[in-house]
Amino acid sequence: MLDRILVGYDGTPRSEAAAIYAAKLFPRARFHIVTVVDTRRAGVYYTKMIWKIMERSSREAAEKLERKLERMGVKTRVAILKGRPPRELLRYARDHDISTIVLSTYTKEGIQTLYLGSTAEEILAISHQKQILIVNKAVDDPQIKRVLLATDGTKYSKRAENGALLLASHFGAKLTALYVHPLREEVEKKKRDMEENIKWKAKHMGVDVKVKVLHGTPEELILKEVKRYDIVVLGSGGRGFYHWLVRRRIGHLAREVVATSEKPVFLFN
């Protein structure tokens, strides 16, 4: 599940914190530290000299992070690419058989609070069959003892459900499957249906799972629950014929959790 990990690194403290968090959790994985110099910004002309300066600066920053991870006993590899960061990161992930991408986001205050940053936004939109670990802030003592799966109970959230079970099994963590239903009269029925499905799989994987179905607004209740857990797992949203026909977009619920969660978020497409 997590033997090859790509870190989308941009030299910022937040990006470095995301890499260190993942390295502490998965020290046996091979880490690919990938920096992309964006050479396609409108109105900017890059000469060979400017590119060489930017490439050298990016490599120095990436190699500094590489040395930190190697001191932790982690195997690493550095790559400096140029082009559009989202496309280049995903192309690299495909070429090197990487399933997990680690990113940090750049949320803003006020009315722009759900803006995630262009690179994270596009990767989340087009990263089919990739799992994305989002870390928004440094975690002093990375550990996973309690996992929260935020699910809608449909087939579209099965990859997230399976991912949460594997994560809980790997760390010996307790798993809570949370579903928020807007209709109070449907809560008990939904809980029975979910328990029948997920508890069967959890039993065979040796995972201690609890199903929790609440009535109310999903965004509010999920974010309230997140505070009690070490990590939250959910599907990235966006489904059906429209999202297949046109460019896929991250769902509103996933966007709000990613943008405002104080805890790391594992997203599955």
* Nearest to 230, CA basis, from 265, 259, 203, 257: 265
Query: What's the predicted TM-score (pTM) here?
Result: 0.84
The answer to whether residues 134 and 21 touch, using CB atoms and an 8 Å cutoff, is no
pLDDT of residue 244: 38
Interacting residues of 161 by C-beta distance below 8 A, sequence separation 6+: 149, 151, 177, 198, 201
pLDDT tens-digit readout, 36-54: 987 666 455 566 777 788 8
Q: In this predicted structure, what is the pLDDT of residue 233?
A: 93
Beta bridge partners, 30, equal 4, 75
The answer to whether residues 24 and 12 touch, using CB atoms and an 8 Å cutoff, is no
Q: What is the 3-state secondary structure (H, E, C) of 151-173?
A: CCCCHHHHHHHHHHHHHHHHHCC
Region of 43 (left: φ > 0; alpha: ψ -120 to 50; beta: rest) is left
For the stretch 163-186, pLDDT in tens is 999 999 999 999 999 988 766 666
Residue 148 is predicted with a pLDDT of 95
Q: What share of the chain is helix, strand, coil (3-state, %, to 5)?
A: 45, 20, 35
Q: Which residues of the chain have pLDDT under 70?
A: 1, 39-47, 106-121, 124-129, 153-156, 182-187, 190, 237-251
Confidence at residue 245, expressed as pLDDT on a 0 to 100 scale: 35
Domains of the chain: 4-134 (3.40.50.620), 146-268 (3.40.50.12370)
- The DSSP-derived string for 15-53 is HHHHHHHHHHH-TTSEEEEEEEE----TT----HHHHHH
Burial of 168 (0-12, 13-18, 19+ CB in 10 A): buried
pLDDT of residue 24: 94
- Calpha distance 65→55 (Å, rounded): 16
